[in-house]
Amino acid sequence: MANGSSTFSVIGTDVTIRGDIEATVDLHVDGKVIGDISCASLVQGEASRIEGQIKAESARLSGEVSGTIEARDLVVLKSARIDGDVSYETLTIEQGANVDGRFAPLGAKTKAASQPVTEAKGSAEPTMSLAR
């Protein structure tokens, strides 16, 4: 368990991991991961590839991802190539990024099923921005 210190783990460019990764700390991926990733914060290098589901509080993606992404604060850089659906609370996409999938605010599926349309407006609206 992290005790307030800035702890992080790095998966280097020469590493391939086959299997799921769960981390309570920040994770930096430069290699290849074939499996699901669950962590506090994810930073993905340009040359890396992730094949699986990503769940993180924050994620900064710049490599290839094949799978669904769920992050409260998501940044997709221009070098990113994503094939999968994306759920977010705040989203920034650099011009030139390639995403083949659907975008939906976090919790949109459960809220839509449980709330009338008239209650959909609120102060906690998800935000999306395009970076240049």
pLDDT on residue 119: 37
Give the contacts of 22 (CB within 8 A, at least 6 positions apart): 38, 39
What's the length of the chain? 132
Over residues 101-119, the mean pLDDT reads: 62
pLDDT in tens, 18-63: 999 999 989 999 999 999 999 999 999 999 999 999 999 999 999 9
The residue ranges of every structural domain in the chain are 8-131
Q: Which residue has the higher pLDDT, 90 or 8?
A: 90
Angle of CA points 48, 128, 23, to nearest 5°: 40
Type and span of the H or E element at 17? strand 16-18
pTM for the model: 0.78
Query: Which pLDDT score, from 0 to 100, does residue 94 have?
Result: 95
Express as a percent the part of the chain with pLDDT over 90: 72
Residue 109 pLDDT more than 70? no
pLDDT for the residue numbered 110: 45
Q: Give the pLDDT score at 5.
A: 53
Per-residue pLDDT, 62: 97
Measured between its terminal Cα atoms, the distance across the chain in Å is 37
Q: Judge residue 48's burial from the number of C-beta atoms within 10 Å of its C-beta, 0-12 exposed, 13-18 middle, 19 or more buried.
A: buried
- The secondary structure of 23-92, three-state, reads CCCEEEECCEEECCEEEEEEEECCCCEEECCEEEEEEEECCEEECCEEEEEEEECCCCEEECCEEEEEEE
